[in-house]
Structure 1
Amino acid sequence: MTIWTSPQAFRREIREGRFTQQTGGQCPGFTQGNVAILPADYAAEFLNFARLNPKSCPVIGVTQPGSTRVPELGDVDLMSDCSAYCVFRDGELVGEAANLRELWREDLVGFVIGCSLSFEEALSEAGVPLRHQEQGTMVPVYATQIPNQPSGRFGGTMVVSMRPMKAADAIRAIQITSRFPSVHGAPVHIGDPSLIGIRDLARPEYGGSAEVRAGELPVFWACGVTPQQAIRSARPPLAITHKTGHMVMTDIRNSHLAVI
């Protein structure tokens, strides 16, 4: 698979339908984002939901009502710049779409939410092994029983991603990811998955799988799939998200998201 290095050229490939795969590993050094698109009369409630749940929903860009563009992130067009979308009606997933040209409405507002792919780059640079990368799969993602802070019609429970690590690597990962609050920040749980409502690590709801080996701990981070759970609770007549793993590429460098 070709690895693109220019976000602008990569988005053009997606817009023109030539790239339809998952976006992990593309444009190294640049920030990818989760996407949630909602009717304007749900937008304020969702923005407040994100404010109340910053670990899961760190918003890095918002469109004006009816606009598909997110200029603070580059020449980003949410109508076409994800390589696959999920479509929800009344809170239920009803299908997928390659682009939103037939679905876009003038009352829609788009949100771009930070993604853990950004802090994974920092972990790799620090020598922290990432099992799913070693295995060439997506990071495993699980629904939990950790309640979100509700905002109006939005509620539901947190979704998390998991990376197995030795204790020393987990400590280093906490130190590193704490510097990236706009892409989920530090872990929300380490150790026994049953304490957060996960019954079987071998059966993630989304993504791939990653074996937890002897001497390792499962380390859990809040995940940008959480808005999909909130959409299920709010039941808007129409909502659109990225398909898991099919992110929107921005012109923002991961290094610019770190705080001292």
Structure 2
Amino acid sequence: MFTKQRPATVLPREARVRFRDGLDTATGGWSHGFVQANMVSVPRQYADDLRRFTVRNPKPCPLLGAVGAGGFTTPLAEGADLRRDLPAYHVWRRGQLVARRTDVVDVWRHDLVTLLIGCSFTFEPVLERSGIPLRHREQGGNVPMYRSNLRCLPAWRFRGPQVVSMRPVPAELVERAAWVTADMPYAHGAPVHIGDPREIGIRDLARPDFGDPVEFEPGDVPVFWSCGVTLQEAVVRARLPFAITHAPGHMLITDRRVRGTGEIPVYRP
């Protein structure tokens, strides 16, 4: 019966079981009404500065929780094993991607500190319920993400551009999209840019740095939100000897409900 459920209706604990069993899928559209999180794990000696980076850049890096050295559980997701319960992980050595895996149990280290930050997948059901189409979902792809020329405030060796996600929105619904997301700072909040991508350093929307390209419908306007891959990008640029991150678009689905309620808020003008 579980396998016939729509991903939107699957509870977080059930979704995590599927991912632990090896299901490799982007988590957009899964477990509507629950907060999703990016994951970054770094050696303890770098953790204070990485956390400082999130504090200095709360828009792209809204910190939801931290796990001490060696730990792999979090109160955000009861019973979850952070080494196994995301659909896909990236393993990094000195800024180079060395492996993409569906679990990282055998490469986990006792000195890894893990930060969990918000994800825009959290607000996508809110957009849908408010009548705003999600083109990437309609087309069966992951949301496109781009490195922008919006700079983050540095923290020691952690620095770099803000990564943004982009969703085409019908022009008459852009204000509504901004309104419904503005009240969710834990999921990046309101857009950081609307319109011409060149103004934020993006030359070609058809060539995202992460995720999949998306086709526009007539009348659509590109709308850009901050993206948690910003933190991953800062870690990669710092060329740490070792790090583990989620694969872009493959998040931890937490047990935390949107706005702490059982209902997804809906825009009402």
TM-score by length of 1: 0.93
> Which stretches of structure 1, 4 residues or more, deviate above 3 A after TM superposition?
1-4
The answer to whether the 8 Å contact 1:74/1:252 transfers is no
Aligned AA (2:108): W
Q: Deviations over 1:52-83 (max 9, x none)?
A: 11111111121111111112332222111111
Q: Is the alpha carbon distance of 1:156 and 1:15 closer, same or farther for their aligned partners in structure 2, counting shifts above 3 Å?
A: same
Structure 1: tracts of 5 or more residues without a match: none
1:222-241 → structure 2 map (5 Å cutoff): 222-241=226-245
Aligned AA (1:230): A
Task: Quote the sequence identity (%).
Answer: 45
1:46-85 → structure 2 map (5 Å cutoff): 46-85=50-89
- 1:40 matched to which residue of 2? 44
1-structure distance, mates of 2:222, 2:211: 16
2-structure distance, mates of 1:76, 1:62: 14
Say which SS state the counterpart of residue 141 (structure 2) adopts: coil
The answer to whether the 8 Å contact 1:160/1:222 transfers is yes
Q: CA deviation at 1:215?
A: 2.8
Q: CA deviation at 1:166?
A: 2.5
Q: Deviations over 1:76-105 (max 9, x none)?
A: 221111111001111221221221111111
- How many residues are treated as equivalent by the alignment? 258
Q: CA deviation at 1:6?
A: 2.1
1:108-119 → structure 2 map (5 Å cutoff): 108-119=112-123
Aligned AA (1:32): Q
TM-score by length of 2: 0.90
Structure 2: tracts of 5 or more residues without a match: none
Aligned AA (2:117): I
Q: CA deviation at 1:10?
A: 2.0
2-structure distance, mates of 1:112, 1:13: 20
Computed over aligned residues only, the root mean square deviation of the Cα atoms, in angstroms, reads: 1.8
Aligned AA (1:234): A
Q: CA deviation at 1:167?
A: 2.7
Q: In terms of mean alpha carbon deviation, does 172-181 or 240-249 score higher?
A: 240-249
- 1:152 matched to which residue of 2? 156
Say which SS state the counterpart of residue 245 (structure 2) adopts: strand
Q: Deviations over 1:127-174 (max 9, x none)?
A: 112211222221111111211110111001011111112232110111
1:206-221 → structure 2 map (5 Å cutoff): 206-221=210-225
Residues 1:176 and 2:180 aligned together: yes
2-structure distance, mates of 1:42, 1:250: 25
Residues 1:9 and 2:6 aligned together: no
The answer to whether the 8 Å contact 1:21/1:246 transfers is yes
2:167 paired residue among 137, 141, 163: 163
The answer to whether the 8 Å contact 1:156/1:232 transfers is no
Q: CA deviation at 1:232?
A: 2.0
Q: Is the alpha carbon distance of 1:72 and 1:249 closer, same or farther for their aligned partners in structure 2, counting shifts above 3 Å?
A: closer
1:22 paired residue among 22, 26, 29: 26
Aligned AA (1:98): T
Aligned AA (2:173): D
Q: CA deviation at 1:195?
A: 1.1
1:237-252 → structure 2 map (5 Å cutoff): 237-252=241-256
2-structure distance, mates of 1:13, 1:173: 31
Residues 1:31 and 2:35 aligned together: yes
Say which SS state the counterpart of residue 20 (structure 1) adopts: coil
Aligned AA (1:97): R
- 2:99 matched to which residue of 1? 95
